[in-house]
Structure 1
Amino acid sequence: MIRQSHASSREVIVANAIRDIVAELRMVEVADYIAFIRLEHFACVSDLVDSAAELYFMPRTVRLGNGGQARVGWSEVPSIELDLELRPRGATVYFTLTLRADEASVEVNYVAFDAPDPDPEKNTAFLMSAIEDARIKRTQPTNLSGLSSAY
């Protein structure tokens, strides 16, 4: 596949968007990922992804795609590759998240837009905006110390 010039900027957008999700996914032991993937228990991996994503995005915005791979060997650092989909309104990003001991990386495989513009830069700007719109907006906690219980 020929890599397009705008792919790198989209990878940065996706990587920044899922930074918190990656931190959540790293809370799972690598041995669990290896077991789930090798035994083809992708529903378990999907549940992990859904649980991590629900804290930061609207439901079903980030989800497991076609599966993943566990790369393990006697003389190498384990590597977990998850095929993920990022689905903000108006676009779908198919990408691979690779988790290693000291790093994580994103490789965007394909981006589909519901109504693509001929200008790739406009599509990239749209993607950034759509991802931001799909985020769960956090509000400041309300101070309830002055309320009395009426129940």
Structure 2
Amino acid sequence: MRRIRLKILGGLVLAAGAAAFFIFIAASDCTTVTGNDEVAVDVSALRPGSARLFSYTDDAGKRLRFVLARGLDGKVRSVFDACRQCSAFHRGYRVAGGELICRVCGNHYPVDRMTEGQASCVPVSLPHKDDSGIVHIKTADLEAGHALF
């Protein structure tokens, strides 16, 4: 009986460590941004077909991650680094080869269509304003996604 308890305890510790590792990996490649009423991000160097991950820390200390991408048409798109279905795992997306790739289900989203999603995995849109290469995002809009993280 004692061996079974130790195996269960060991499995729980291993699972907790793996979860912490994946949360660290998902957040470690983010550029931190700050702001009071809004954050302003210079995306003038963001090439068509590319994306970058960002994070904003709210007043409660929660890191709210988001993605800014420039489509091949030159338009900037923004989504949270989460979807409604897979957000429970807190792993977000990775960016590779002009695509967002869900770290949970593996779906690929070209930056031109990253707001469309597939099946139940749909990146959560984030409102923004593009002002000649500077993207403005209201901190209230970022904080509205608090439950995703």
Same fold (TM over 0.5): no
Richer in strand (by share): 2
Larger Rg: 1
Richer in helix (by share): 1
Give TM-score, length-normalised by structure 2: 0.28
Give TM-score, length-normalised by structure 1: 0.28
